[in-house]
Amino acid sequence: MEAGLKVTRGRPLEGEGVGLRLLPFVAAGVLAFAFVPLLPGTTEPATLIAAAMVPVLIACALLTPWARLPAWMQAVPVLLVFVMVALVRGALGGTESPYTYTPVVLLPVFWFALYGTRGQLLISVIAVGATFAIPTASIGPATYQAEEPIAALLWMTVAGITGFTVSELVRQREALQEKLGRMARTDALTGLPNRRAWDEELGRELARAERSGAPLCVALLDLDHFKDFNDMHGHQAGDELLKSVALRWRGRLRTVDLIARHGGEEFAVILTTTAISRASEVVERLRASVPHKETVSSGIAEWDRSESGGEVVARADHALYEAKRAGRDRAVLAGGEA
């Protein structure tokens, strides 16, 4: 975690939701292959094997514990579609057959365009060509071998253009979602995380501190007499002061700490792996760096390892109130004055 909020980008390819994403493609496989043995001239062993792979796809989608498997394993049931198409096309005579299954090769391409990486998508486009080449090289007649490379090149081109276009649209949507998510958690004036982001990060940091046993402190810092500063210098000068304070304070904290605009002229800081004595020193450095000789009041609380995030913030807020009541321009520790 950085002093500002970091949003991690990436497609959600892990977890039990993988099975749900596979289901539409499994359903298409069922429709495409379940009736293969009933078609005229489809008593070849290859077609029967392809039809028998349909329940394998269903089992993969519904029964596999995806959350406990490596991410690359998710591609296996999708790639089985290529094998099924190659078996059926080889047995039926490729493009010569009235029962061509060639368009089915686009299903895995679409899946990787929606949920996979660019590398996986490229592999699926190459697999389209392999789907044509394997039966051609193994069992196709001379005319079949002459025509299939042209068809393979055509389908690879169509798959590549379609797949990468869909992939780019998905990535643009993800980038927009990431931007909107970042905006929803960022204070527009200072560029710091806002109150919503603060609440989320505090919960995560408390959980991490509980696991590690490390101390954690929360500090609230409030600019003294900020309304008077605004009245004297104007709101634009007040905004510039807030931005300057945010920039200076963020630069004086570690990357593992978090500073957020808690509201108005109040800022909140999470100091990880920091006991209250050290937290007091950090807060004093922050208070000393405010421009225009403005002063700051602060309240600091160390998490007692049993209270909630709201409770430790409430203790820091009470300490801040005590600092203001005692005359401002000071830091007060929850439970005693610094």
Active site residues per annotation? 265
Q: How many whole angstroms separate alpha carbon 96 and alpha carbon 239?
A: 74
Contact 134/88 with Cβ under 8 angstroms? no
Alpha carbons 18 and 53: distance in angstroms, whole number: 19
Cα(49)–Cα(118) distance, integer angstroms: 31
Q: In the numeric block, which tokens belong to residue 198?
A: 């603060």
- Residue 35 per-residue DSSP state: T
Written as six digits, the tokens of 241 are 């002061």
3-state secondary structure of 83: helix
Q: Taking Cα atoms as reference points, which of 293, 296, 238 lies closest to residue 269?
A: 296
Strand runs labelled E in the chain:
216-223, 258-263, 266-272, 296-302, 331-333, 336-337
* Cβ atoms within 10 Å, residue 151: 17
Residue with tokens 């029967």: 48
Smallest CA-to-CA distance from 216 within 292, 140, 273 is with: 273
Angle of the 226-233 helix axis to the 235-251 helix axis, nearest 10 = 130
Type of residue at 4 = G
Joined together, the tokens standing for residue 140 give 């196709």
Helices 106-115 and 75-92, axial angle in degrees (round to 10): 170
* Nearby residues of 251 by Cβ (< 8 Å), 6 or more positions away: 3
User: Distance between CA atoms of 193 and 261, rounded to whole angstroms?
Assistant: 6
Query: Exposed, middle or buried: residue 98 (CB in 10 Å: 0-12, 13-18, 19+)?
Result: exposed
